[in-house]
Structure 1
Amino acid sequence: MPSAPGRRKPSRSSSAIVADKERGRHELRIDAGTLDAAAPAGERGLLASSPFTVGGHRWRVRYYPNGTDAESKGWVSIFLFLDEDVAEPVDRFSIRCDIVVLNGFRTKEEAPSAAIPPSDLQKHLGDLLQSGRGTDVVFEVGGEAFAAHRCVLAARSPVISADLLGAASDGAAAAGVVRVDGVETRALKALLRYAYTDSLPEMDREEEDAILRNVAADRYSLQRLKLICEDRLCRLVSVGTVEITLALAEQHNCDRLKEACLQFLGAPANLRAAMGARGQ
């Protein structure tokens, strides 16, 4: 029904008066050793918590292990105590009791855990490389061909990933054939084995010496393999190898290998022998 001309609707509003509450918690841990029936009752047996603050006031928990007087003897009494003088009443409070009773110890039989064998992922991937199943790329080096799986190699090496899957891949790589120059056949074979199994194959001294001096690990950004090769080369430094090894260390930024070579040459006898071998 429309209001009469010149008459306005009364404004409406509401409000409420509520208590300004502040909550807090203080945890007091009580050792079971205090629950002693021989403990004195009343103030003589009083134990108190450290002071704590809630709502701008200081509080303590007062604990009587054997009651506050003769009537309550044998009972535990706990009080929340306002540990300061106040002129006005404070907010209401609540007490929370968490009780844990330790009823001695017992043996609990548990089902035996299953014997979990170690991971055999490396073996399966190594067998996959060995069998040639599902291969989709072939590396040609030194007149030999090595079949592999481009998804595995791309996951292991950012350089191979760019070569095989990147937009810059040439026609041969896109077709699944990669010709590798400047890498020995044995080195590439070892590199592929490492890419699948994260380890190098068993090698004799001649194979190891040839493969570790190859640049394949650095060329394909296999940093862990590079470190493995560097570590083994450090143990192979000799009069006959120190010169070429030092050159490789300089070329591929192998600081630890360089240090091993310089330490070897730091011995006067080794230095004279190396210089004599070079003169021959």
Structure 2
Amino acid sequence: MSSTFAGVSVLAGGELCPSTESPVVTSTDCGYHLLVVQDYSLTKRATPTGMSICSRPFMVGRHEWCIEYYPNGQKKSCADFISLYVNLLNDEDDAKERVKAKFEFSFIDEAEKHKPMYISGTETLSFRGECLRGYGKFMRKDVLEQSANLMDDCFTVRCDIMVCDTQDAGRNKVLLSEIDQHLNNLLQTKVGADVTFEVSGEMFAAHRCVLAARSKVFMAQFFGPMKEGTAASSAIQIKDVEAKVFKALLSFIYTDSLPLLEDDDLEEDEGEAVEEGQEEEAAEDEMAEVAEQGEGEDAAEDETELQWLQDLLVAADRYDLQRLRFICEKRLSERIGVTSVASTLTLAEQLHCRGLKEACLKFIQVQSPLCLQKVMGTDGWEPLIMTYPSVLNELIAKLATNQK
């Protein structure tokens, strides 16, 4: 089953442009809408935090949807990010029943995320009229502004939606592969498991053939000349890896998708629902101390997720999982900040991640002198220049080009 084009919305000067084409009407259960944001800088200056700009309504799965774009975040704790939400528009049927659907936002050049197979692997969520689902922290604004996604002050986001509870759902399930769900069920139920790992005191059961099929390292470990013993009673000890990282590694091996970090606060941010009429902003204004504490918690969550991604990148390299390595590199490239760039650059140099290294160097290159001082004052800076002095030479060369 292919994803059907469900129209395009163009934002310019902070407003939705009048449509110059006929609405795209489709009843297919899998469709996508394009949101083209022109005059990004002007829109960011003109739109305060908490205010959104909506796309044109579009149809997918016999339901009407729209995209809500917050140039300066949906709430104060997201003010450094752009927020993106999908909204099921209210009608008589939607007001009575919840609509089950999957969705994903991606930039127009992220072709891999545009496949129905990818969308089918995302979480199924329930929608009801005027209920937002999406990402409060879709991407940091400073990262977007330094990325290739923003060209000529313009970027394009694609929103894919797959409705799961229509009359044709049974037929579509046959057409969509469910191998990732079946393998994940095998991992969770431990049926037929023939190997056990002990990681930081936690036990993980798995299947040698699945691991070997996905990783050359596991293939050599289980079926090569130096293969591990087959005694079911003895667990294989895994050193220098946290349990939550190894659990994510196994999940990727079985499902070919990156799981969410299992933290309640992080999961709420990844797929939070915002009901119309909420008064979160008013509560934050009235309770300044609580708001400041919340922002501190958000920063801690970001740091936790960053460390998790860095550790997962190391594990992906260790077990030669190239696709997971690529995904972690890309996620880390989108999360580069003043406090994290030195440690991320060290990791990129250590693991020979050229794309991630270039993203870090570019981030440092465009910083102001004050921000450069902050970068040099972080805990990761001294270990970086002591371990990899050549990186400092490359950085000096890049900074020198700023003077030309």
Tell me the residue number matched to 2:188: 130
| Shift in CA distance, 197/175, structure 1 to aligned 2, threshold 3 Å | same
Tell me the residue number matched to 1:78: none
Deviation at 1:240, TM superposition (A): 1.1
| Shift in CA distance, 207/121, structure 1 to aligned 2, threshold 3 Å | farther
Cα distance in 1 for partners of 2:304, 2:185 equals 22
Tell me the residue number matched to 2:27: none
> Secondary structure, in 3 states, of the residue corresponding to 2:236?
strand
Cα distance in 1 for partners of 2:212, 2:315 equals 15
Cα displacement string for residues 18-52 of structure 1 (whole angstroms, at most 9, x for unaligned residues): xxxxxxxxxxxxxxxxxxxxxxxxxxxxxxxxxxx
Q: Which has the larger radius of gyration?
A: 1
Alignment check: 8 A CA contact 1:187 1:210 kept = no
Cα distance in 1 for partners of 2:179, 2:233 equals 29
RMSD: 2.2
Cα displacement string for residues 173-196 of structure 1 (whole angstroms, at most 9, x for unaligned residues): 787631111111111000000000
1:212 aligns with 2:309: yes
**Structure 2 unaligned regions, length at least 5:** 1-170, 267-301, 383-404
Tell me the residue number matched to 1:169: 227
Cα displacement string for residues 146-177 of structure 1 (whole angstroms, at most 9, x for unaligned residues): 00001000000000111112220244778763
Cα distance in 2 for partners of 1:159, 1:239 equals 35
Deviation at 1:208, TM superposition (A): 3.1
Cα distance in 1 for partners of 2:318, 2:377 equals 33
> Secondary structure, in 3 states, of the residue corresponding to 1:259?
helix
Tell me the residue number matched to 2:377: 276
Read off the aligned partner of 1:141 and give its amino acid letter.
Answer: V
Tell me the residue number matched to 1:224: 323
Matches within 5 A, 1:1-280: 116-171=174-229, 177-203=235-261, 204=266, 205=302, 208-214=305-311, 215-269=314-368, 270-278=371-379
Deviation at 1:267, TM superposition (A): 2.2
Alignment check: 8 A CA contact 2:221 2:227 kept = yes
Cα distance in 2 for partners of 1:164, 1:126 equals 21
Cα distance in 2 for partners of 1:265, 1:275 equals 10
Cα distance in 1 for partners of 2:233, 2:218 equals 15
| Shift in CA distance, 154/207, structure 1 to aligned 2, threshold 3 Å | farther
Cα displacement string for residues 71-130 of structure 1 (whole angstroms, at most 9, x for unaligned residues): xxxxxxxxxxxxxxxxxxxxxxxxxxxxxxxxxxxxxxxxxxx75431111001001101
Instruction: After the TM superposition, list the runs of 4 or more consecutive aligned residues in structure 1 that deviate by more than 4 angstroms.
Output: 172-176
Deviation at 1:245, TM superposition (A): 0.4
Task: Report the structure, 1 or 2, having the larger helix content.
Answer: 2
| Shift in CA distance, 176/152, structure 1 to aligned 2, threshold 3 Å | farther
TM-score normalised by L of structure 2: 0.39
Read off the aligned partner of 1:228 and give its amino acid letter.
Answer: I
> Secondary structure, in 3 states, of the residue corresponding to 1:213?
helix
Cα distance in 2 for partners of 1:188, 1:209 equals 16
Read off the aligned partner of 1:210 and give its amino acid letter.
Answer: Q
Deviation at 1:271, TM superposition (A): 1.7
Task: Report the structure, 1 or 2, having the larger strand content.
Answer: 2
Cα distance in 1 for partners of 2:248, 2:361 equals 29
Alignment check: 8 A CA contact 2:342 2:378 kept = no
TM-score normalised by L of structure 1: 0.55
Deviation at 1:211, TM superposition (A): 2.5
Cα distance in 1 for partners of 2:227, 2:179 equals 30
Alignment check: 8 A CA contact 2:196 2:232 kept = no
Q: What percentage of residue pairs aligned between the two structures are identical?
A: 49
| Shift in CA distance, 176/196, structure 1 to aligned 2, threshold 3 Å | farther
| Shift in CA distance, 152/235, structure 1 to aligned 2, threshold 3 Å | same
**Structure 1 unaligned regions, length at least 5:** 1-113
Deviation at 1:239, TM superposition (A): 1.2
Alignment check: 8 A CA contact 1:172 1:178 kept = no
Cα distance in 1 for partners of 2:335, 2:231 equals 36
> Secondary structure, in 3 states, of the residue corresponding to 1:146?
strand
| Shift in CA distance, 173/241, structure 1 to aligned 2, threshold 3 Å | farther
